A and B are shown apart, each in its own frame.
Chain A
Amino acid sequence: MSNSHGETTYEHRAARRSAVVHDRSFMERETLRLRLDRRAQEVRDLSSAGSGDRAAFGRLVEMHFGGIYGLLFRMVGNPEDAEDLAQEVFVRAWKSLGSISDDEALRPWLTRIAVNLFYDHLRKRGRGLRVVELDPLAADPGGREMEPFEELDNREAQALLGAAIERLPERLQAAVILRVVEGRSYEETAAAMGLKQQTVRGHVAKGRQLLMRFLKPWLTNGGSSL
């Protein structure tokens, strides 16, 4: 809406401004309303589930299933084990649910159970049994010419990285997955692992160092040097 000289009119600017302000307040109100609704429902469900209401617990499972299953899938690397472990997480949560009254504490608590189950899983399964479709680290890098990391396709690169992560010690694996892959805060990661934040920072730094060392044969191709 311009006048004959191509200038934006005052009315046009005012209309744009009020539209932006209106959109903004509407979106904020809606987002806040949804957040509050969800929070209120979670508090109610937690309270009911703590009193033995299985339907309310089912809703809590439904609400947290995605986060827990996703975390375990990235940790164990296959859907079957991830689903079994996720079930175990919620069963154990049910068994101790009475002590949880704060809905804000539920997610870190579930994550912590998941992490501990992951440690148990690693111990039971043993090392090197993670199911990956490609395990280039098992091959001898000195025997053949390595393909540069950036030239691998996405699936191959992810498999390679998954295999490298699996070679990390269990606590380092958990720290890297929670902090770097999942993008959780240090506070949340530390709570989930039962460690101090500073310790988690050290684990992440060490994990980075080891990952770069494991992947060195692929990353040094093409002139990179680590």
Chain B
Amino acid sequence: MKACRQTRRLLELQFAGELSWKQELQLTDHLSAGPECAAEAQAQGHVLETLGGYREAPLAKIDVERFVQKVQDRIANEPVGVSQAAPMESKSGSRSMVLAAAALLLVALTWAVRDRMGARDGGSPNQEELAGVPTEVDETAFQAERHRAAVDELRHALASLEGEEPDWELYSEGAQGLRDSDWPLTGLLSGLLGDPEERVARAAVLALGREGSTLAQRRLWSLRGDERLGASAIDALGAHGALTTEQNVEMYWDGTHRAAALQIMAHWHGADALAGARLLLQAAPDRRVPADHYHTLASVLGRANLEGQELALQWLQSPRLEQDAWAMHIAMHDLSGAFDGYLASGAGSRWEAGAMALAGHYPSEQWVSFLAERCARSRTADRAVQVLAKQPGLAALELLFEQESNRMVGEEVWLEAWTQANAAGGSRMVALAHQYRLAGTRSEREHLADVLLLGSQLGTGESLVELASARDLPERLRCSMVLHAGRVGDMRAGYGLETLFESMERKDSSLAACVLIALSQLHESDYVLDFLQQQGQVGEADCRTILTLCDPKSRRSERERRYLIARKLKPVLGKRNLSSLE
């Protein structure tokens, strides 16, 4: 209530045009906290605005010359007067001495009460008044003139801050003169914030930002809602690091300068980030963070210290947030400290989904056991296999390989995951095959062939053909590898296929058919025709027939086409053997 009485007093001063910049700050501060006073201030603002318009309203046009002439006409017969005690009463003409004495008494009485009642004298002032008024006016006028001169000087100095390249050196020279004369620069600059010329007001904002005093900062902060200068004021505060965490959070939630707030929040790290995130939560509208603002919190918390990261991980279980985006933000930062705690403490479907999202964005060998458990449950098997494909290390690849026989995992899902896992490179696959070899059930080459075959894609064709050349592998497996090499479209496999074909014997006709089918998938038909003719023992008609059978668009099945091609090739390969023997 005391503050409200003080505000009322300040409003009175504002109405009378006497509000100093310091009092203006007090008024602004109180108005932001008290709605009733704010309403009164708003109402008074309307009245003052209209009064301002009242003052500036155009007067009716009066012909000054005509007016002066009228006055001249009226005084034409009047002699210029000398000091008279009461000219208004002088019209009554001569008075008796008694009346004069009474008038004198009346004047004396009037003098005694004039301060309370106001003088009614329409005539000339007496000598005391004439002596008194100018002295007071002089002193006031002197101070006013001095103030005007200082403001003018400051306006000149501020001119050097206008434009895109503020000349701070020139401004400082001008401002220093005022400082030397003990002018409160912050006060003068505050006064210029209301300058009708926007360029002057903007320059004053810049200069206030540079002042750095608490008063200057508070004055700039009070401008944040100002349509004309709000953005400049916030920029000036931000440029000098003068915005507190609380102010940033306030700007973020009230939305007036959210971009500026975000820009500053991007520099929060460690404990600052944690404190900022907590403030963001406390100041959230209705204490509930809108869903589309969680990414801001995630980003801030991700840069926080260990405590902040743990808090971030706990929030993954919140049903109100979009887990994938949240996890992505968290995973961008180092979680090594908080990670184990999260895995150990978690339970429930929300935690499980959160962990899965986190594993997708934060690949680590630590996830394998978690994912192995999820692969064994029908509800989570598909998602676990997809996430498993992103994990590094041999254990993850092995687990993924084993899921081929997991009937809870969809065939398409597994193939896609396997392809994705192998895209990282072949060394893991070789290592895996070697591991199987050590288990002792199948040859290393067989296992490697299986792995390569399952992961056949662009880049593995050459390896497939190389393995298919090994005669100790079962023919069925060699055929599969050659056909896969053609399907994955690895052009480097072409040379290997041709070499393989040239080394074949009569008994390899089935594999040779596969080689030709694969070659026809890698090259144009003319190239394959030329290759066949170069072999020497194949007639042109047979060559064309074989080429027709190689076409996968043929109505015959692949198995049938392979059989027919092999029949055509068998005599050719046999003759080649004989000629080589000769």
Q: Which residues of A does B touch, CB under 8 Å? A: 8, 13, 16-17, 20, 24, 28, 49-52, 54, 57-58, 61-62, 65, 69-70, 73-74, 79, 83, 86-87, 90-92, 94-102, 104-105, 108-109, 112-113, 116-117, 119-120, 149-150, 154, 157-158, 160-162, 171, 179-183, 185, 187-188, 191, 193-196, 199, 201, 204-205, 208, 211-212, 215, 219-220, 223-226
Q: Which residues of B contact A224 (CB under 8 A)?
A: 39-40, 42-43
Q: Does B140 contact A (CB under 8 A)?
A: yes
- Minimal Cβ-Cβ distance residue in A for B81: A95
For the complex, give the distance between the alpha carbons of A211 and B368 in Å: 79
Partner of B83 from the list A98, A119, A195 (CB cut-off 8 Å) is A98
Partner of B115 from the list A54, A79, A199, A201 (CB cut-off 8 Å) is A199
Q: Is the CB of B51 within 8 A of A90?
A: no
Closest 3 CB pairs of A and B: A194-B119, A99-B83, A96-B124
- Minimal Cβ-Cβ distance residue in B for A225: B39
Q: Is the CB of B59 within 8 A of A69?
A: yes
For the complex, give the distance between the alpha carbons of A128 and B119 in Å: 24
Q: Which residues of B contact A196 (CB under 8 A)?
A: 115
Partner of A65 from the list B40, B64, B84, B90 (CB cut-off 8 Å) is B64
Interface of A is mostly: helix
Q: Is the CB of A208 within 8 A of B167?
A: no
Q: Is the CB of A219 within 8 A of B46?
A: yes
Partner of B70 from the list A70, A87, A150, A161 (CB cut-off 8 Å) is A87
Q: Which residues of B contact A50 (CB under 8 A)?
A: 80
Q: Is the CB of A58 within 8 A of B122?
A: no
For the complex, give the distance between the alpha carbons of A215 and B43 in Å: 9
Q: Does B44 contact A (CB under 8 A)?
A: yes
Q: Which residues of A contact B98 (CB under 8 A)?
A: none
Partner of A199 from the list B71, B87, B116, B133 (CB cut-off 8 Å) is B116
For the complex, give the distance between the alpha carbons of A224 and B40 in Å: 6
Q: Is the CB of B53 within 8 A of A61?
A: no
Known contacts A49-B80, A95-B78; A62 and B64 CB within 8 A of each other:
yes
Q: Which residues of A contact B140 (CB under 8 A)?
A: 185, 187
Q: Is the CB of B121 within 8 A of A161?
A: no
For the complex, give the distance between the alpha carbons of A157 and B71 in Å: 35
Q: Shortest Cβ distance from B540 into chain A, in angstroms?
A: 73
Q: Is the CB of A99 within 8 A of B130?
A: yes
Some 9 contacts from A to B, beta carbons below 8 A apart, are: A13-B167, A79-B60, A79-B62, A90-B71, A96-B83, A104-B137, A157-B50, A191-B137, A226-B39
Q: Is the CB of B114 within 8 A of A194?
A: yes
Partner of B54 from the list A62, A101, A162 (CB cut-off 8 Å) is A162
Known contacts A8-B167, A92-B87, A211-B47; A157 and B62 CB within 8 A of each other:
no
Q: Shortest Cβ distance from B95 into chain A, in angstroms?
A: 17
Q: Is the CB of A58 within 8 A of B68?
A: yes
- Minimal Cβ-Cβ distance residue in B for A196: B115
